[in-house]
Structure 1
């Protein structure tokens, strides 16, 4: 009887210890997975677009705000992007990799993660490649892991954003022939275009999310004719290959805004800082063409006296709008080209687009094409004839 009583007590004690252990384990897990007092949002839903690498990409931003002053400093250690329906992981970023998602990463990444001070916000720029051979996900979910100043772990789970299902606008060439270098172009989160956040009139937008600066090149891949690197600052506009090239309507449309008469800037001179961020303070001479409902093509830095259209004009694709110049906030001759959802630059979101036909010769760096003494090696990473694709940053293209 004593033995039976002892056995029953032993079983009861083990049961209680297991129960307490499970309870404590659950409490520890909850403590480890405490909800972070952080706001995370995606201001503008991403749209899939096929790049000149033949892969489908989405570009978007995560705004992460450490809301309460009492929270103290947080360290963002992990970001995971999942397909919401299947929970399949599409991308994983650990502490050092999270640093690379910033517009201006720290030179020496903190192994404890990206520092997020109380009351501050960071913006993460995500360029994701969607898995080939599968239907595109309709909804993305995000998980973010933080640690507090005392080492406690906090999580955010469930931040969702839909993926736009409508295809990107298809355009014809904005320039003739080529070759052209697509500088500061799509897929480069460190480009001043994509990380150029505009905050005005109660809105935070990124008009230049997919913007491209087109630089004309010689057949051997240089942006200037017979000008050495030492002579760049004294070069004339006419020394630049693209200067004066016809700028073309990339689709049928209606001119919604334009300006002419602004002078070209001196080559490689630093433009004065604009007092505000608008088409008129940035683009010099420009044309804005509405090519579909809430789809606007913007052309900037045109030559003074070259603009051929006025507001309200209906133009056909291929029509000459003006000539490539260096007016406005530009330090070298090039065409600034972007597509957005508004005629007003400062209140618009950049939209993806594709060109119907172009040849991608490969890729090159801007420092190569500016140096006559350097033989430009066009890397053949995307070399092919492209249809319905978006030229990615650094591509060298010719238009049909």
Structure 2
């Protein structure tokens, strides 16, 4: 989604972050010291560990992926790696191949690789790593649902070095880097947080939306809290988001719609009392704890926490310690905090901190996929200017169970 509807606005936060070259290179243990290979007529060769290799880049995964089934029928592994250039001159990434042992699952090259790569603090796509710069590379490894989920992924990064230093750093080098374990767990199964037809998934899984590219520098590290976040807006029967003056929240028919608890669980934290923002204006001067606006954080169990953000002023109906039941009304859709149009920002995360956590996948137990908005550079942005929605051809309306919505899905959530 365009920044006007990006929920927590961590893209703005990251622009103020210093370069990431000072971050620890990796969390995996260092390889043991090389051992000498010897041979004798009786024993033959004795092999030690693989020899160490000088790598011009260092890297690590932001967090371990959790597989999730989406409305395209595919199983998605969604995660990011950071790559830091350790040299005093630029490097160019030619390709990155994601591997399950020796099987290539995804191969990104050229412009396609640039599409999924960003230098920290710079929003434009790139394959160039300047001296000491850190890039974040986003991945969406999609597999047929019947394919066995890998337990571990590795990354082969092919580099071009304009100032080679043979034999350590040749002109062309492929570096195996940033191995990451795939979590052997299922995503949490929940109910949708809204009711009724024509709810649009803005900024959700699994592309390069503002949610996906918003990595938050909080408490000394980067977090991808919004990795699977959805900004919900609702089309009216004519396929429009707004009728009347777009600077008034009441011009959005879904402003004030009920928000429902997605599952059973205790309320961890609540914020209410922040004023409604003026639609179309970018909020400024917000402290960190107000980016989510009026909001509720709920413990869903098993390390899953739900965030309901930008709630309408004065409508939060729960307090910390309350034990919610699935379907319970907790507030109304609003436009508070870092928001420039009424919407519900919903995400599941690994801790109760809306920004200092990693986003976790979730699946809805039951909903109807009605359509998908036509893909484009600003598919939703034009709707805020009064345009009618355009839809992708060939998307059959169907019931979905235990699936995650994809970005631009248009859905009906039944009353139950």
Shift of 1:171: 0.5
Q: Calculate the aligned-residue CA RMSD, in Å.
A: 2.0
Extract unaligned runs of 5+ from structure 1.
Answer: 1-33
Gap change, CA 1:159 and 1:169, over 3 Å in 2:
same
Question: What TM-score, normalized to structure 2?
Answer: 0.79
Once residues 38 and 272 of structure 1 are traced to their aligned partners in structure 2, the CA distance between those partners, rounded to angstroms, is 36
Structural mapping, 1:156-305, within 5 Å: 156-189=175-208, 191-225=209-243, 227=244, 231-233=245-247, 236-275=248-287, 278=288, 280-305=289-314
Provide the residue aligned with 2:80 in structure 1: 61
Structural mapping, 1:315-354, within 5 Å: 315-354=324-363
Once residues 252 and 375 of structure 1 are traced to their aligned partners in structure 2, the CA distance between those partners, rounded to angstroms, is 35
Secondary structure in 2 matching 1:346:
coil
Q: In the alignment, is the contact (CA less than 8 A) between 2:240 and 2:388 conserved in 1?
A: no
Q: In the alignment, is the contact (CA less than 8 A) between 2:272 and 2:294 conserved in 1?
A: yes
Provide the residue aligned with 1:78 in structure 2: 95
Shift of 1:378: 5.5
Q: In the alignment, is the contact (CA less than 8 A) between 1:361 and 1:378 conserved in 2?
A: no
Once residues 52 and 130 of structure 1 are traced to their aligned partners in structure 2, the CA distance between those partners, rounded to angstroms, is 13
Secondary structure in 2 matching 1:193:
helix
**Is residue 50 of structure 1 aligned with residue 62 of structure 2?**
no
Secondary structure in 2 matching 1:270:
coil
Shift of 1:274: 3.1
The list of structure 1 runs, each at least 4 consecutive aligned residues, that deviate by more than 6 angstroms after superposition, is: none
Q: In the alignment, is the contact (CA less than 8 A) between 1:36 and 1:146 conserved in 2?
A: no
Provide the residue aligned with 1:148 in structure 2: 161
Question: What TM-score, normalized to structure 1?
Answer: 0.83
The structure with the greater share of residues assigned to helix is 1
Q: In the alignment, is the contact (CA less than 8 A) between 2:286 and 2:337 conserved in 1?
A: no
Q: Which has the larger radius of gyration?
A: 1
C-alpha distance after superposition, 1:69-118 (max 9, x if no partner): 3xx2111111111112xx111111122221111247757x7xxxx11112
Once residues 196 and 178 of structure 2 are traced to their aligned partners in structure 1, the CA distance between those partners, rounded to angstroms, is 44
**Is residue 89 of structure 1 aligned with residue 94 of structure 2?**
no
Shift of 1:35: 4.3
Once residues 315 and 185 of structure 1 are traced to their aligned partners in structure 2, the CA distance between those partners, rounded to angstroms, is 25
Provide the residue aligned with 2:407 in structure 1: 393
Secondary structure in 2 matching 1:262:
coil
Aligned positions, number = 349
Q: In the alignment, is the contact (CA less than 8 A) between 2:348 and 2:361 conserved in 1?
A: yes
